[in-house]
Chains A and B, each alone.
Chain A
Amino acid sequence: QLQLQESGPGLVKPSETLSLTCVVSGGSFSSSSYYWGWIRQPPGKGLEWIGNVYYTGTTYYNVSLKSRVTILVDTSKNQFSLRLSSVTAADTAVYYCAKMPTMRSFDVWGQGTMVTVSS
């Protein structure tokens, strides 16, 4: 059964870059049938889509974050990563990675990782 696991620092200083990795196991990472996505949830608030990446490296970003976001894939390691630059306290959130089959939305999620932006 396909699983996703996020990892990365739990604390990032303001103005620095947040970096997270999502490792995919138990399934085909390079399938042409899936996109891979990042979604975040500030404490006590709702869900915000950050962006998607295809195994070929094609990306789709939320325009509200586009200038600060980079999502990359590493098919050799069955993983994809998120980089968010110039972070502020508003970027404090639980960050989830998820799998999105084409035309079906996010059907498998990682457990999430809490990232706090603070000096």
Chain B
Amino acid sequence: DIQMTQSPSTLSASVGDRVTITCRASQSISSWLAWYQQKPGKAPKFLIYDASTLESGVPSRFSGSESGTEFTLTISSLQPDDFATYYCQQYNSFPYTFGQGTKVEIK
């Protein structure tokens, strides 16, 4: 199985901060990576696919990038609605696997 390792596990930030979350794959997944946002008691929300393509309707302050097997989700200016847990997921090969999640908290 491909292991997806996210860092940090928890991130404390303020409104307006630039936030970066990293996800590292244990082997090559090409660009087959997605990012999700999840709030308590809710289903995950699809944000980004193919490592850097923003899903329709997702604010442009969210962006994704890749460098080899390291992938990054960036929020350029954190908004109150962005406090949540974020997950990466590879869909390069079965079994699809998720990172353990990064919780973005209010500082």
Residues of A within 8 A of B (CB): 46-49, 60, 62-64, 96, 100, 103-112
| Residues of the A chain whose Cβ atoms lie less than 8 Å from the Cβ of B36 | 47, 106
Q: Is the CB of A46 within 8 A of B46?
A: no
Contacts A46-B87, A46-B101; A109 near B43 (Cβ below 8 A): yes
Q: What size tier do the contact residues of chain B reach?
A: 20 to 34
> How would you classify the secondary structure of chain B's contact residues: helix, strand, loop or mixed?
loop
Is B100 in the interface zone, CB < 8 Å from A?
yes
Residues of B within 8 A of A (CB): 1, 32, 34, 36, 42-46, 49-50, 55, 87, 89, 91, 94-101
User: Roughly how many angstroms separate A10 CA and B89 CA in the complex, as a whole number?
Assistant: 27
Q: Is the CB of A105 within 8 A of B34?
A: yes
Select one of A47, A60, A107 contacting B46, CB under 8 A: A107
Pairs A–B under 8 Å by Cβ, sample size 10 = A46-B87, A47-B89, A47-B101, A48-B98, A49-B89, A49-B97, A60-B94, A63-B1, A103-B50, A107-B49
| Residues of the A chain whose Cβ atoms lie less than 8 Å from the Cβ of B97 | 49
| Residues of the A chain whose Cβ atoms lie less than 8 Å from the Cβ of B50 | 103-104
Further pairs besides A63-B95, A104-B49, A112-B43: 4, Cβ < 8 Å: A47-B98, A47-B101, A105-B91, A109-B45
Q: Is the CB of B87 within 8 A of A111?
A: no
Q: Is the CB of B49 within 8 A of A105?
A: yes
Q: Is the CB of A64 within 8 A of B95?
A: yes
Q: Is the CB of A47 within 8 A of B49?
A: no
